[in-house]
Amino acid sequence: MLARYPLGLTALALVLALPRLAAAQANPTFNYGKAEEVKEVKAVDWTAIAEAGLVLTTGNSKTTTATAAAKVTRLDADNKLYGEVNMAYARSTILIVSDEDASGTIGPDEIQESTATTANAWLAKLRYDRFLTEFNSLYATAALGADRPAGKDLYGGGQVGYSRLLYKDGDKHQLTGEVGYDFSYEDLAAGDPLQIHSARAFVGYKGKLTEVTAVEASAEVLGNLNSLDTVPETSGPFEDLRVNAGAAITTKLTSKISLNVSLGTKFDNRPAPRAVIGGIPYDAGFVPVADKLDTITKASLIIALF
């Protein structure tokens, strides 16, 4: 059946986190399977949650910010299927000045507006876990998304591999490791598409610092196995290294109020070329690339009203 979530909890957390969420890429989070999730499941169990937010400002400040997310989980005695979709979009208008007549002052015709999209990203993910024993399982994933500011009109791929529960101390500490294969396809905004075959390594930790404070951290490393025609130079094996990592801490302030703080990072040693800015082509031989590192920091105050 569908899980029930307090309306105030979802809405308030989204409103507080909305500006920063839309200003960057989606936070790199991982949902990996644990055998204990299906230990007590006797029949098929479904849970789902969806949330969305919109902020519009006009007048002196002109912005449009939107986020949306949905998650669904299916559990039975030996299997877990998890799906997630999220989106972040932001567009802002600012004033720019240009002293075109070199007078040293700004006239009425030298103030203009500039509108730009600062975030335009979406991602859909699906993961399947097959539990073999309490400590061993197999996994397969599929993903499809886009991130125009990062130079990717469309990207996607899949993963397969082996997952192992490395350490478990009751419900206080759990450490999980995964190894496997990753295939990624990137349709770049500037440049030819890339097909990347990579070795994958992952480690994830979940634990309780106290009865009211939980922490989790994870890191995924993808090392390319094939040579790639990247910018500004060709990348040999393991030169197009990608690292996705994140950490979060949640603490209960009262029985109905919790504080969550998280940090996410995405590193790409061979980032994609930047898309054309303002419709004006670049000089011959000049191909700017996106930043290697993206981060997102989020603080959410979660209030359960019911």
Q: Model-level pTM greater than 0.95? A: no
List pLDDT tens digits, range 80-89. 999 999 999 9
Q: What are the Cα distances from residue 55, in Å, to 66, 67, 146, 247?
A: 6, 9, 22, 27
The CA-atom distances, in angstroms, between 5 and each of 2, 8, 11 are: 10, 9, 10
Query: Are 180 and 197 contacting, i.e. CB atoms less than 8 angstroms apart?
Result: no
Q: Tokens standing for 12?
A: 């308030």
pLDDT single digits (tens) 215-232 = 999 999 999 999 999 988
**Percent of the chain at pLDDT above 90?**
56
Residue 304: how many CB atoms within 10 A of its CB? 16
Winning range, highest mean pLDDT, from 33-37, 84-88, 190-194, 302-306: 84-88
* pLDDT (mean) for 265-280: 85
Element at 7 (helix H, strand E): helix 7-22
pLDDT (average), residues 271-280: 80
211 dihedral zone (left: phi>0; alpha: psi -120 to 50; beta)? alpha
CA distances from 35 to 18, 46, 142, 225, 227 (A): 33, 16, 21, 31, 37
pLDDT confidence tier of residue 5, bands split at 50, 70 and 90: very low
Instruction: Return the pLDDT at 12.
Output: 40
CA distances from residue 82 to 27, 33, 147 in whole angstroms, order as listed: 17, 9, 22
Please give the mean pLDDT across all residues of the chain: 86
Tell me how far apart the alpha carbons of residues 161 and 138 are, in angstroms, rounded to a whole number. Answer: 6
Q: Is the peptide bond before 232 cis (omega within 30 degrees of 0)?
A: yes
- Among 203, 202, 204, 217, CA closest to 250: 217
CA distances from 87 to 23, 26, 111 (A): 11, 7, 33
Does 152 or 23 have the greater pLDDT score?
152
Domains identified in the chain and CATH numbers: 7-96+114-303 (2.40.160.40)
pLDDT value at position 303? 82
Q: What share of the chain is helix, strand, coil (3-state, %, to 5)?
A: 10, 60, 35
